[in-house]
């Protein structure tokens, strides 16, 4: 796929009539707009014969440069060729449904439509941008908020993404309603996670939590309990969850779990102090 970027420094190509200034385009429509502008034409005039020729030259040039020509460019080349052929034909009465229609009409409409958005996106690009030009205040919730009331800043989607990705790998076995045989508690899974992290030297990938289990035992209840245990461990600050950030700020790469530095005794105490764990413990006797 072509990405926008710095212009590729190609001055001209062979042929006396065409000097194509080549930059990387956003797609066939972008390229067409560029060619129309180069010819100092108006979009509504769309000189198909002329433009189609230059368009093909451009594609050939891209191929010469061994750039990948995305399929969309080839489709557009075919469209241009079709329009060109239609325009050469005298208006025919056989074409009932398209009688009187300029064969270029649809393409012109698309070009105009694309051009509008291109313009407005350029305007948006120059807007003062939070995260680039100005930066919002980011203050942690006041220390006066009790730990239990503190809320996690994460969207439902974020959480479900991770959770459901794991669930997807689990064969659809017995549903929630039929899991009597297997009682997995969040508490057990909390300890198991901390053990797994310990075995890996203090840091582990989210996915490894599920990969490390003997294949047959990876049931839905187990996955659910493990996930909830993970959240619980984050809550009691026994571990933290990280993910890489790409240059542009988007999260990327594996989600990593890292043990906090207080050591085993401290997190065991925290887990033990977690009121929700007591609820789990009392269930163990059942």
Residues 78-107 that bind another protein (CB under 8 A): none
3 state DSSP class of 252: strand
Residue pair 193/257 in contact by the 8 Å Cβ criterion: yes
Selected from 152, 181, 263, 265, the binder of another protein by CB under 8 A is: 152
Q: Is 147 near another protein (CB under 8 A)? A: yes
Selected from 12, 202, 244, 272, the binder of another protein by CB under 8 A is: 244
Q: Is 202 near another protein (CB under 8 A)? A: no
Judged by beta carbon, residue 91 or residue 116, the one nearer another protein is 116
Q: List the interface residues with another protein, window 121-140 (CB under 8 A).
A: 121-140
Shortest separation between residue 66's beta carbon and another protein, angstroms: 20
At a CB cut-off of 8 Å and minimum separation 6, what does 108 contact? 43, 44, 46, 102
Shortest separation between residue 144's beta carbon and another protein, angstroms: 4
Q: List the interface residues with another protein, window 13-32 (CB under 8 A).
A: 26-30
Structure tokens of 249? 């700020």
Residue pair 256/204 in contact by the 8 Å Cβ criterion: yes
Shortest separation between residue 245's beta carbon and another protein, angstroms: 5
Residues 263, 265: Cα–Cα separation, whole Å? 6
Selected from 58, 114, 210, 267, the binder of another protein by CB under 8 A is: 114
Selected from 21, 37, 240, 269, the binder of another protein by CB under 8 A is: 240
Q: Is 154 near another protein (CB under 8 A)? A: yes
User: Where do runs of H (alpha helix) occur along 200-274?
Assistant: 208-211, 220-235, 264-273
Residues 55, 127: Cα–Cα separation, whole Å? 33
Dihedrals phi, psi of 195, to nearest 5 degrees:
-65, -45
Shortest separation between residue 286's beta carbon and another protein, angstroms: 11
DSSP state, residue 141: P
Binding characters for another protein, 157-196, by CB under 8 A (x = yes) = xxxxx-xxx-xx-------xx-x----xxxx---------
Q: Of the listed pieces 9-17, 46-54, 91-99, 257-265, which binds another protein according to CB under 8 A? A: 257-265
Please, what is the end-to-end C-alpha distance for the chain in angstroms? Answer: 58
* CA distance readout (Å), 144 to 141, 150, 234: 8, 10, 19
């Amino acid at each position: 796929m072509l990405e926008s970027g710095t212009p590729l420094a190609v001055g001209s190509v062979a042929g006396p009539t065409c000097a194509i200034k080549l930059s990387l385009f956003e797609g066939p429509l972008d390229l067409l707009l560029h060619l129309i502008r180069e010819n100092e034409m108006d979009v509504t005039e769309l000189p198909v014969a002329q433009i189609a020729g230059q368009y093909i030259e451009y594609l050939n040039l891209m191929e010469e440069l061994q750039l990948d020509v995305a399929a969309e460019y080839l489709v557009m080349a075919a469209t241009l060729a079709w329009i060109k052929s239609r325009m050469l034909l005298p208006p025919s009465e056989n074409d009932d449904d398209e009688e009187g229609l300029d064969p270029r009409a649809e393409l012109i409409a698309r070009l105009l439509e694309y051009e509008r958005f291109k313009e407005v996106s350029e305007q948006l690009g120059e807007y003062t941008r939070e995260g680039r030009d100005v930066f919002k205040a980011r203050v942690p919730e006041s220390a006066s908020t009790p730990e239990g009331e503190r809320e996690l800043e994460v969207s439902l989607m974020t959480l479900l993404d991770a959770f459901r990705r794991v669930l997807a790998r689990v064969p659809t076995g017995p549903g929630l309603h039929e899991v009597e045989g297997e009682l997995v508690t969040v508490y057990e899974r909390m300890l198991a996670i901390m053990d797994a992290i310990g075995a890996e030297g203090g840091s582990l990938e989210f996915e490894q939590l599920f990969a490390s289990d003997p294949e047959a035992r990876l049931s839905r209840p187990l996955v659910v309990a493990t996930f909830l245990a993970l959240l619980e461990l984050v809550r009691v600050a026994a571990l933290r969850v990280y993910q890489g950030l790409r240059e542009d700020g988007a999260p990327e790469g594996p989600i990593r779990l890292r043990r906090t530095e207080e050591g085993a005794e401290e997190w065991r105490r925290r887990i033990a102090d977690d009121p929700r764990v007591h609820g789990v413990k009392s269930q163990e006797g059942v």
